[in-house]
């Protein structure tokens, strides 16, 4: 059975997805104005396609997939964020890639530091990652999606998504922890700064628990 | 009868990300939990990593939908 082209019905489905959609758009685009535009464009596209959606389909996954595709189409000729190969080479030596999930803070440091971050600091941290990593990490942190769902929305194989998620969130933690605590440039900091073309120190050497 | 060998620290560390995301197979989950029950060092690492992800998730989920956006979307439908 297919959906009807009823705006009110569409809005009922959209309401619980809107926060995740806007947050994802914000981390991808980096500005609230661009994020609102992206969400509006996605909404219009999704509404046009809504009558073809089966009633048993997952609206959230479908809508977020349209959002990702819309962003990719609008930015096809741009390369937002660092080059993926350079960034991956730089983060290869970072503790906690792949499966290890090495904690980089001790005690209550993470709670104190991370919960005091403002939106600009968070968006800056996301912007230091290649777009593919940014997408996956945004979907992971903004909603309660499992690996399969994130891979489906991001349009990449499950194992690729898994590797990028683990690497991406370790890199985010390193970037954010360093941005709050300052400190001297470590090997990771300088190499990552070169990779994304900035002079600013991004993080200090990890303090492994 | 399940004869899987107990996990050592390195095996648990390699699976920690998937454990935190509840993406391990039932057997891997069982073996990981059994190791965490007897290894305070791995348990501490796991708890700290879990806390970092939880705190980061809380910070990121503070993004608010701008006032007026739902109405703006509604007007265009």
CA distance A48 to chain B (A): 9
The answer to whether residue A179 scores a pLDDT higher than 70 is: no
Check: CB of residue A178 under 8 Å from CB of residue A201.
Answer: yes
Q: What pLDDT, on the 0 to 100 scale, is given for residue A158? A: 95
pLDDT > 70 in chain A, percent: 74
For residues A166 and A99, give the distance between their C-alpha atoms in angstroms, rounded to a whole number. Answer: 7
Mean per-residue pLDDT for A152-172? Answer: 93
Complex ipTM, two decimals?
Answer: 0.87
Mean pLDDT across chain A, nearest whole number?
78
Give B-chain residues touching A119 at CB under 8 angstroms.
62-63
Q: What is the pLDDT of residues A68-112, one digit of tens each?
A: 999 988 887 665 667 777 788 777 666 554 545 556 666 666 677
Q: What pLDDT, on the 0 to 100 scale, is given for residue A205? A: 28
CA distance A118 to chain B (A): 8
The answer to whether residue A206 scores a pLDDT higher than 70 is: no
- Cβ within 8 Å, pair B56-A147: no
pTM score, whole prediction? 0.81
Cβ contacts of residue A145 below 8 Å, gap of 6+? A61, A139, A153
B65–A contact, CB cutoff 8 A: yes
Check: CB of residue A134 under 8 Å from CB of residue A27.
Answer: yes
B69–A contact, CB cutoff 8 A: yes
The answer to whether residue B8 scores a pLDDT higher than 60 is: yes
Q: What pLDDT, on the 0 to 100 scale, is given for residue A178? A: 72
Inter-chain CB pairs, A–B, below 8 Å: 114
The position carrying tokens 């489906």 is A152
Q: What pLDDT, on the 0 to 100 scale, is given for residue A9? A: 92
Mutate one of B42, B50, B56 to test the A interface: name it (highest A CB count within 10 A). Answer: B56
- Cβ within 8 Å, pair A114-B20: no
B20–A contact, CB cutoff 8 A: yes
Greater pLDDT, B40 or A199: B40
Q: Which one of B15, B44, B55 has the shortest CB-CB distance to A110?
A: B55
The answer to whether residue A166 scores a pLDDT higher than 80 is: yes
Check: CB of residue A145 under 8 Å from CB of residue A24.
Answer: no
Mean pLDDT is lowest, of A37-51, A102-116, A123-137, A191-205, for A191-205
Structure tokens at A97: 């890639």
- Cβ within 8 Å, pair B55-A146: no
The answer to whether residue B77 scores a pLDDT higher than 60 is: yes
- Complete DSSP assignment for B21-33: TT-S-HHHHHHHH
Mean per-residue pLDDT for B24-48? Answer: 94
- Cβ within 8 Å, pair A106-B48: yes
Check: CB of residue B35 under 8 Å from CB of residue B2.
Answer: no
Q: Which CA distances in Å does A84 have to A2, A70, A130, A200?
A: 40, 21, 5, 19
- Please identify among residues 96-155 of chain A the ones whose CB lies closer than 8 Å to any CB of chain B: 98-106, 110-111, 114-115, 117, 119, 122, 138, 141-142, 146-147
For residues A163 and B66, give the distance between their C-alpha atoms in angstroms, rounded to a whole number. Answer: 33
- Find the length of chain A: 209
């Amino acid at each position: 059975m297919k959906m009807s082209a009823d705006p009110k019905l569409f809005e009922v489905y959209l309401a619980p997805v809107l926060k995740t959609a806007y947050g994802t758009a914000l981390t991808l685009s980096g500005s609230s104005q661009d994020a609102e535009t992206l969400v509006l464009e996605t909404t219009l596209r999704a509404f046009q396609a809504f009558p073809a959606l089966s009633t048993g389909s997952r609206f959230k996954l479908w809508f977020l997939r349209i959002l990702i595709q819309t962003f990719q189409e609008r930015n096809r000729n741009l390369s937002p964020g660092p080059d993926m190969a350079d960034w991956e080479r730089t983060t290869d030596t970072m503790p906690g890639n792949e499966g290890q999930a090495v904690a980089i803070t001790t005690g209550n440091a993470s709670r104190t530091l991370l919960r005091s971050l403002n939106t600009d600091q968070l968006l800056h941290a996301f912007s230091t990652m290649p777009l593919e990593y940014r997408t996956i990490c945004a979907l992971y942190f903004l909603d309660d999606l499992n690996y399969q769902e994130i891979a489906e929305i991001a349009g990449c194989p499950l194992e690729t998504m898994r590797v990028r998620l683990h690497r991406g969130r370790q890199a985010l933690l390193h970037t954010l922890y360093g941005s709050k605590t300052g400190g001297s440039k470590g090997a990771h900091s300088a190499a990552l700064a070169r990779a994304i073309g900035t002079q600013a120190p991004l993080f200090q050497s990890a303090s492994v628990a | 009868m399940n004869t899987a060998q107990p996990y050592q620290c390195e095996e648990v560390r390699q699976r920690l990300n998937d454990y935190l995301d509840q993406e391990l197979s039932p057997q891997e989950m069982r073996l990981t939990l059994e190791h965490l029950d007897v290894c305070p060092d791995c348990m501490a690492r796991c708890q700290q990593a879990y806390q970092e992800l939880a705190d980061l998730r809380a910070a990121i989920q503070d993004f608010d939908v701008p006032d007026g956006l739902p109405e703006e979307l509604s007007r265009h439908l």
